[in-house]
Structure 1
Amino acid sequence: MGKYIEDAKELLTYVGGRTNISAVTHCMTRMRFVLADPAKADVDNIEKMGIVKGTFTQAGQFQVIIGNEVSDFYDDFIAVSGIEGVDKAAVKKAAKANQNVLQRLVGTLAEIFTPLLPAIICGGLILGFRNVIDSIYMFDNGTKTLVQISQFWNGVDSFLWLIGEAVFHIGIPLGICWSVMKKMGGTEILGIVLGITLTSSQLLNAYAVASTPASKIPVWNFGFIKVNMIGYQAQVIPAMLAAFTLVYLERFFKKITPKVVSMIVVPFCSLLLAVMMAHFVLGPIGWKIGSAISAVIYAGITGPVKVLFGAVFGTFYAPLVITGLHHMSNAIDLQLVADFKGTGLWPMIALSNIAQGSAVVGMAILQKRNAKAQEVNMPSAISCYLGVTEPAMFGVNLKYRFPFVCGMIGSGIAGMLCTLTNTTANGIGVGGLPGILSIKPQYWGSFALCMAVAIVVPIVLVLILGKKRLTESEKGLVADIDDVKKEEEFTASSKQVDVCGCVEGTVIPLKDVHDKVFSEGLMGEGVAIVPDGEEIKAPCDAKVQVMMEETGHAVGLKLENGAELLIHIGLDTVYMNGEGFENLVRVGDVVKKGTPLIKFSKDKIKAANHEDTVMCIITDKGLAKDTELHTGIKADLNTSIITMK
């Protein structure tokens, strides 16, 4: 038995049972569900589970944040549910049924750029380090750099450019072409070759185009037409257009080419035409589109409205993360780096992450006496400061709402200051406190000031608002509200509780039931009802404690005196797998006497060769001292079948 078996059972119930799960997998911190009916997920109760850090729905997937132990939890969940786990690709495919066109587009962009991020982040850090040693004049009274006074550091600077060039000049177009082919199911090596043709040393480097006279640009001369031999180093949109063209060309030729010659015809025709399209048409068009987009963003960051741009982008980046639209910023950042040797967008993204983490720190201060809340607060804040925002945003800030807004405000102010000081990064880096390493050295001071704002403002706002908005129990100054209710239940006066007929019929002794588990009282004392009706109703005021979601044949109630009552419909009806049963309530619901709980079909039970006798069993007496069982009578909601004193 795994350590998370009970938690897994509970989560299975709350997501709507195995019949509501179309697919399930997990990532580093989250369980990822594709649900047949997302509305059946009991989000409130899921988020109350001790092991759950939060929930959210994105890209058609219902995601439950578990934390670092998610792998072990997943194994126990699969064992408990009996569901065959699938890989992430299968889950994403299933989730597309729940996505609109925009969500699918954004999801595709995310899947293209996500595999490239490790290399891009590494390249950004390397460029940042090279700037420190070759661009900061901190020796000989501020007249020389470290590279200028040390042969060793000069060699290091030159060597590191090998990696920097590989990432930003060659790696981005090549990586995009490979990633698109992988994502779209094409032949990956053809994507790699296509990427190489966009960055070949035979071509004029893209960075040299602006300084090269038109007459000096090399060309391919076909007699009737000349095509410029220009490379697309660091260009994003030309590479994407070329790669998608290759994907659809390969699909087309696979469709029309006989299999006996497909190995020769398909790659030759697809790659040749894709390279021609890339250099003759798509490259120049993509270059202009990319340049236009980056020019507009650059104008926003550096132009007369830069402070307003910084305020808007800084404030609303966090909500973009919720929608998944933030993935588009990767392409814009890379284009800015290609066109302007740096990006002013990425620093604001890092500041937004820091601000959301700081809002959690504010909550941690407010909830310092709430041990349960601190189990989520502290790991979430640390994770956010290191660039992973989901635990903080979905586990804490969105749960209470006002911390999320406080983080947005702090991020908006920091964004204003960021654009006001023209703070620029070498490229994409770690999206949290370590992000300063990717900032150009001359802007370290201004970015440090922006970070201070992103840290202090959310914390202060959360402390001010939280004092009024958080309840005493949420602060940890009194016991958790559920514990208070539980304590009240068990310290209630031992007044008489009458359990009335949960279904119309005839009450018989348990010993007459044709099942030893019930007839011999192994589950507890109680009575049975030979039903006339087909609807189970609450026999008294109670709270739904257990509900057999998948089979629907039983429900467990907790009564006012702390006693626990099991209502079990039929014998061996668990093997009907829910056929003929309909649950009308969920675990956690507080029900009044007469509230419908379950509908069932006597005909279907009979057709399955099972008895339809309904058992009412007291599995725990709670505060009751004596129990009286009333048999040989007609059961209804006005007649007591069990009296507890």
Structure 2
Amino acid sequence: MAKFTKDATSLLEYVGGKDNIRAVTHCVTRMRFVLVDEKKADIKKIEALPSTKGTFTQAGQFQVIIGNEVSEYYNEFTKIAGIDGVSKDAVKNAAKSNQTFIQRLMSNLAEIFTPLIPALICGGLILGFRSVIGDIKLLDNGTKTLVENYQFFAGLYSFLWLIGEAIFHFLPVGIAWSITRKMGTTQILGIVLGLTLVSPQLLNAFAVVPGAQIPVWDFGIFQVEMIGYQSQVIPAILAAFILVYLEKFWRRVTPDYISMIVVPLMSLVPAVILAHVIVGPIGWAIGSFIANIVYAGLTSSFGWIFAGIFGFFYAPLVITGLHHMTNAIDLQLMSQFNGTILWPMVALSNIAQGSAVLAMIFLQRKNERAKQVNVPACISCYLGVTEPALFGVNLKYGFPLVCGLVGSCIAAMISVSSGVMASSIGVGGIPGILSIKPQYMFMFFIAMLEAICVPFILTTIVGKKKLSLEDIKGENSSISDNTPVQTTENKIETTLTDKSDIVSTFKSPVSGITKNLNEIEDKAFASGAMGEGFAVELTDGKVIAPFDGEVMVCFPTGHAYGLKSTDGTEILIHIGMDTVQLDGKGFDVKVEAGQKIKQGDVLVQVDLDYVKSQGKPLTTPIVFTDGSHIELLKKNSNISIGDDDIIKITK
């Protein structure tokens, strides 16, 4: 009997049998299912399996966290089930069949905006800082700003607009690029299309004075107004999809020997014409209509009701991955009304969920294992990243999520009732106050206090009734500190040992900027379900062995490696995010599974430029899958390959 025969057989039964599986694949840590009926999956029994470290559902996929032996598990599962696995993209596409039309639409919008989020966050921070130095009167008894008093800040204020303008003013370029990337067409054509929507020779529609004469392109029989779509979302989306489908059509009907000439020309030129003649004006009208409806609803006498509904349901949107759709509305509001009412509610929702986790930290202060998840999840939430808190804590227990939703609902009503408006988006959680217009900062602060206090108090009260002794102390009253304990977070039995057993043989396998594991996008890693560790934003493509040992797992695509040291330390190095989709391109693998390694041996050489050109983040989790406790000694630091003072490991 193979290692995972028993568990794989049980998993097949617990997911509802072969007939309930529409598609299945795996990544480096998880089995990914598309089920006919997700209600047939018995989550409690699945999570009770010894090999299972957790489950969650996202974007139509039911995911079972296995660990770095998932490929072996997957092979055994498909053999027992008698079904063929498919590619990750095929599962992703099949998952969309579980969604309604609206869900698929929202999912596609989310996928368009996800690659743009780092730039939006950067732009939000910059505009927020400009507001602090240029709009808040901090000097001379509250009569002058830093910009008015100091030439340095005046210069900085002006210079930073260069970056802010590049991000928000030229947003259609990023949107068109993201859509062509998502749809698999020529990305540079998308960039060029986006540039034609924001060209300097075009007037900015928001700056046009009513009644002013607008220059035109005169074609004799008709004229086209030279109006741009700076900061616009919907016109850019519509124009980009026209370009995509034109390119796909011409590629299908054009002979290969002339495709290099015909396809770009016959795709780009008509797309630009249609963008300025038809879809641009239509998109402008649609965007303005949506923005006006949202603005009117939130500023009406019943605005507080709409705000409460949004505040309550925003976190569930995050769970489904559909929350990015609100970015389009936010950006439209910013363009049309010079600010957004929605974004402050997003930041308050982050804070409310973090406060629920803060209460769990208080309730579980004697539970060492729970603190390892709760503390980083709370910090992450307060900084605007809620997934670790939602998936790692609040969803797990249920009541903290609801208490957070109640606090978010009330905070949203306070915010909207007070007219709080943000000048930019991207900065969530407590730092979100930097994006708030100065005249509204006090009321936003009041809403923040509510979002901190109410979820904390409610979660504490409910938690004292709901949590078991094992949840609170991390052990049953009849079990001693040194007894092997099986927890809901990790089904692997471990005996707690002296934490002074420090391992010092680890040397950094990569070069780059360090960050806490809970700050990364992938929720399976960020939640700590796979184990503790840290992450590195790569600046060099060489990846080496961090210790003497053996290659336990070498993923066929070269993007992930499971290693075991001679002293028993086990780690997983996952290079980049979603890099499995590159099918090995950009990865020059130097080792294979079962190979003995020495510290410093090269595991793989990564073409970072290629990975970045495909839109894949270079964030690389390094996770200790053997239950080791990790303390990151160098946070947000630039480290070099071979450094040996980055972390402290205790077993």
TM-score by length of 1: 0.67
**Greater Rg, structure 1 or structure 2?**
1
What is the CA–CA distance in structure 2 between the aligned matches of 1:368 and 1:10, rounded to whole Å?
37
Shift of 1:446: 1.8
**SS of match in other structure, 1:16:** helix
Q: What is aligned with 2:501?
A: none
Counterpart CA distance in 2 for 1:197 and 1:9 is 58
* 3-state secondary structure, aligned to 2:296: helix
Is the aligned partner of 1:479 residue 2:476?
yes
Distance 2:195 2:352 in 1: 40
Q: In the alignment, which residue of structure 2 is the partner of 1:423?
A: 420
Instruction: Report the CA distance shift for 1:476/1:241 in structure 2 as closer, same or farther (over 3 A).
Output: same
Match of 2:71 in 1: 78
Q: How is 1:452-471 mapped onto 2 (pairs within 5 angstroms)? A: 452-471=449-468
Task: Provide the residue aligned with 1:271 in structure 2.
Answer: 268
Cα distance in 2 for residues equivalent to 1:415 and 1:201? 39
Q: Which residue of 2 aligns with 1:153?
A: 153
Q: Which residue number in structure 2 is paired with residue 165 of structure 1?
A: 165
Q: 1:61 to 1:11 in 2, by over 3 A?
A: farther
For 1:306 and 1:98, locate their aligned partners in 2 and report how far apart those are by CA, in whole Å: 34
Contact 1:124–1:427 (8 Å) recurs in 2: yes
Residues 24 and 91 in structure 1, CA contact (< 8 A), matched pair in contact too: no
Equivalences for residues 20-31 of structure 1 within 5 A: 22-25=24-27, 31=30
Name the aligned partner's letter for residue 325 of structure 2.
Answer: M
Shift of 1:255: 2.2
Q: What SS does structure 2 have at the residue aligned with 1:62?
A: strand
Q: Does 1:364 align with 2:361?
A: yes
**CA gap 1:117/1:239 in 2 versus in 1, 3 angstroms:** same
Q: Are 1:54 and 1:64, in contact at CA under 8 Å, matched by a contact in 2?
A: yes
Structure-2 change in CA distance of 1:430 and 1:88 (3 Å):
farther
Q: Please give the alpha-carbon distance, in whole angstroms, between the structure 2 residues aligned to 1:187 and 1:162.
A: 28
Give yes or no for contact 1:369–1:475 (8 Å, CA) kept in 2.
Answer: yes
Unaligned runs of 5+ in 1: 66-72, 488-645
**CA offsets, 1:34-91, max 9 Å, x none?**
35665675522454589988532121212357xxxxxxx7433225544899986455
Q: Is the 8 A contact 2:32 2:62 kept in 1?
A: yes
Match in the other structure for 2:92: 92
Deviation of the 1:140 alpha carbon: 3.0
1:62 aligned residue: 62
Q: Counterpart of 2:388?
A: 391
Other-structure match for 1:436: 433
Letter of the 2:262 counterpart: V
Tell which deviates more after alignment, 221-230 or 35-44: 35-44
Tell whether 2:144 aligns with 1:144: yes
Distance in structure 2 (CA, Å) of the matches to 1:150 and 1:424 = 28
CA distance in 1, matches of 2:146, 2:5: 61
Q: CA deviation at 1:472?
A: 3.4
Pairwise CA distance, 1:188? 0.8
- Does the CA-based 8 Å contact 2:25-2:88 persist in structure 1? no
Offset of residue 12 of structure 1: 5.5
AA matched with 1:412:
C
Question: Partner of 1:114 in structure 2?
Answer: 114
Give the corresponding residue for 2:410: 413
> Do the aligned partners of 1:174 and 1:192 also contact (CA within 8 Å) in 2?
yes
1:407-435 residue CA offsets vs partner (Å, 9 max, x unmatched): 11101110111112211112222322222
Structure 2 distance, partners of 1:443, 1:32, is 47
Kept in 2, the 8 Å contact 1:53–1:391? The answer is no
Q: Which residue of 2 aligns with 1:101?
A: 101
Corresponding residue pairs, total: 468
CA distance in 1 between counterparts of 2:102 and 2:5 reads 35
Give the conservation status (yes or no) of the 8 Å contact 1:121–1:427: no
Match of 1:574 in 2: none
Partner of 2:181: 182
Establish whether residue 213 from structure 1 lines up as the match of residue 191 from structure 2: no
C-alpha separation between the residues in 1 aligned to 2:367 and 2:432? 31
Quick one: distance in 2 between partners of 1:409 and 1:39? 27
In structure 1, C-alpha distance between the alignment counterparts of 2:205 and 2:415, rounded to whole Å: 29
Note if contact 1:25-1:33 (Cα within 8 Å) is conserved in structure 2: yes
| SS of aligned partner of 1:141 | coil
Listed as ranges, the matches of 1:230-629 within 5 Å are 230-476=227-473, 479=476
For residue 649 of structure 2, what is the aligned residue in structure 1? none
* CA–CA separation in structure 2 for the residues paired with 1:477 and 1:88: 37
Alpha-carbon distance between aligned partners in 1 of 2:96 and 2:464, rounded to the nearest angstrom: 42
Q: How far apart, CA to CA, are the structure 1 residues paired with 2:318 and 2:165?
A: 30
Q: Distance in 1 between matches of 2:353 and 2:174?
A: 31
Within 1, Cα distance between the matches of 2:124 and 2:67?
Answer: 35
Distance 1:116 1:385, change over 3 A: same
Work out the CA distance in 2 between the residues paired with 1:11 and 1:350.
42
- The letter of the residue matching 2:466 is R
CA distance in 2, matches of 1:113, 1:125: 18
Q: Secondary structure at the match of 1:75?
A: coil
* SS in structure 2 at match of 1:261: helix
Pair 143,366 (structure 1): closer, same or farther in 2 beyond 3 Å = closer
Distance change >3 Å, CA 13–CA 147, structure 1 → 2: farther
SS of 2:57's equivalent in the other structure is strand
Farther-moved stretch of structure 1 (10-19 vs 242-251): 10-19
Aligned residues of 2:185 and 2:244 also touching (Cα < 8 A): yes
